[in-house]
Structure 1
Amino acid sequence: MTLVILAAGMGTRYGGLKQLDAISNENEGIIDFSIYDAIKYGFKKVVFVVRKDFLKTIKSLYLPKLQDKIKVEFVCQEVTNIPKEFNNNNRVKPWGTAHALLTAKDVVNENFCVINADDFYGSHAFLKMGEFLSKTDSSSSEYTMVGFKIQNTLSENGTVSRGECYLDSGNYLKRVVECTNISLVNNRIVYSENNQEKEIQKNSLVSMNFWGFTPTIFQEMETLFHQFLKENYRTEKEEFYLPSVVNYLLENQIATVKVLETSSNWLGVTYKKDKAAVISKITELKKDGVYPESLWS
């Protein structure tokens, strides 16, 4: 099994490359904890999807740490990494999470999990993901996702965007609906849609981009990305999102997505002020013995 880490985002709201920020006194980032958990539950390879301008930095950070622990690959997500017929544009912003994953297709030939670099998913979430992927045939179109309760994914320092998940009675995903400007107001979780305030139930599951796929998804993604570019290659901000790909596959009955429940608590750094709370929680987890004092020593 392979862990694919999407680390090419621009960090607009955060104001920097939060993917590389240390959150422990051992100079460990959120990425370190994800890789540690993945190794613990049977993943044998990690693929970093990064921007070319910090490839050298991330290599220097992670190759020494991970030597002899897990196989490591790096791929670069560049705005020019698209078919030549669509390359006559002034695009600066990355093409989105689905395009980021697509750049890894040549180095991923086995079942894999894809995550955001700046989200902490927790040990139990990786346990559940590893169990599912290890039992799934690599030619299958049954995929998976670990969902988190929305009340555990908010920031005290600003609004967030989340993909609300709608499930059937068998815990299979029906669709993901992107909600923006989500916040906790007077003990209610609200978001804005068409300039109207709407409420989300606190125990609603949301996607934090913790997906499990087989290699069969890449062919579907290539077809969909080509269609996306036909319609959007001259735009500056439209993005090819992973949840949009999943929604298309579900609507057209091309794939299924089993939603896994986890007891793990999600942690994340959307804004710089979120960092202190994450550091505090990581310190607590180490004190409780969930993680060793130093992950890589």
Structure 2
Amino acid sequence: MVKPTLLVLAAGMGSRYGSLKQMDGVGPNREAIIDYSVYDAIRAGFGKVVFVIRHSFAKEFQEVFSAERFGGRIAVEYVFQELDYLPEGLTVPEGRVKPWGTNHAVMMAAKAIHEPFAVINADDFYGAEAYRTIGDYLAQLDGSRNRYCMVAYDLNRTLSENGTVSRGICSVDGEGNLTAMVERTQIERVADGRILFHDGGADEPLAEDTPVSMNLFGFTPDYFDYSAAYFKEWFAANRENLKAEFYIPTMVNKLIGEGAASLRVLRSTAQWHGVTYKEDKPALMASIERMIAEGKYPRNLWK
């Protein structure tokens, strides 16, 4: 059975958070969220972790997150996402400073990954259950094509008490496959207890258990070929929009809509944790302490 790879999207600096949050200590020994992600991936049978980073902080990042840090229990590689890392024939439009988005980041790993792989955000704490769920599914896909997956969370387990959030709202058919994913912004729990999103100025309610994407996807290597081909088309259509980003849901929706691939939605009832805002950090740290007390993690991950 193949060991899947974990692809960690760590190139973003997190403008709202105000620091290199991928390396910010949240555990009792200053472990970062990345440490818990890699620890959970190792326990779930992943064989390699690939970090997508930027050259601007590569030295600092690689000094911290090395194979030695993880005790040699998982292979480690690094790839780079930069504004000018584009397919041949494409050039950066004048005035463009914003990176090209999460699916462009995924594309950077095409030469490093040749097996089924999971994609995560560096600053999201997904929980051990999520890695076991997606790891078991990916381990069965060796040699498969066009069969993807994602772990979806209940919306009410992904909110922040410190501001609104954006989430990919998932529609799922009777067989558990994704039919569409729509990004909703400015989602929050309001005073009367309801969960609303404020897209377009309208207040629309959402159910507590609405399945949402937290960018925990699973793909087979053919996804790289689809992405490289479609990026050129997307680039031509969005060249004049200097803030447009090539997101993973953009690519997924295209493949699902055209029937080129299927994506199984694996549900998780776990509590998601993240640091969308600096004020989220104390709550995350308290949750980690509770999980340590419950025996879910050792107090020192890598001792």
**Percent of residue pairs bearing the same amino acid type:** 43
Q: Structure 1 runs of 4+ off > 4 angstroms?
A: none
**1:88 to partner: Cα distance:** 4.2
What's 1:289 paired with? 295
2:72 is paired with a residue of what secondary structure? Answer: coil
Does structure 1 retain, via aligned residues, the 8 Å contact 2:103–2:227? yes
Partner amino acid, structure 2, of 1:177 = V
| Among 180, 185, 199, the residue aligned to 1:193 | 199
1:279 is paired with a residue of what secondary structure? Answer: helix
| Among 115, 118, 141, the residue aligned to 1:113 | 118
**1:228 to partner: Cα distance:** 1.1
Does structure 2 retain, via aligned residues, the 8 Å contact 1:45–1:71? yes
Asked if 1:99 is matched to 2:104, the reply is yes
What's 1:78 paired with? 82
Asked if 1:51 is matched to 2:54, the reply is yes
Encode CA deviations 1:180-222: one digit per residue, 9 max, x unaligned.
Answer: 0111112111111221111111110100000011001111101
If the length of structure 2 is used for normalisation, what is the TM-score?
A: 0.95
1:65 is paired with a residue of what secondary structure? Answer: coil
How many pairs were matched up? 297
Q: Distance in 1 between matches of 2:224 and 2:200?
A: 34
| Among 7, 11, 27, the residue aligned to 1:8 | 11
1:283 is paired with a residue of what secondary structure? Answer: helix
Does structure 1 retain, via aligned residues, the 8 Å contact 2:83–2:92? no
What's 1:241 paired with? 247
Partner amino acid, structure 1, of 2:249 = P
Asked if 1:159 is matched to 2:141, the reply is no
Q: Distance in 2 between matches of 1:156 and 1:265?
A: 14
Q: Distance in 2 between matches of 1:109 and 1:259?
A: 23
**Which blocks of at least 5 consecutive residues in structure 1 are unaligned?**
none
1:268-279 aligned within 5 A: 268-279=274-285
**1:68 to partner: Cα distance:** 1.3
Encode CA deviations 1:82-136: one digit per residue, 9 max, x unaligned.
Answer: 1353324232111000000000111000000000001011011111111101111
Does structure 2 retain, via aligned residues, the 8 Å contact 1:138–1:216? no
1:85 is paired with a residue of what secondary structure? Answer: coil
Encode CA deviations 1:49-68: one digit per residue, 9 max, x unaligned.
Answer: 01111111110001131241
CA-atom RMSD in angstroms: 1.1
- Which deviates more from structure 2 when the two are superposed, residues 195-204 or residues 272-281? 195-204
**Which blocks of at least 5 consecutive residues in structure 2 are unaligned?**
none
What's 2:23 paired with? 20
What's 1:183 paired with? 188
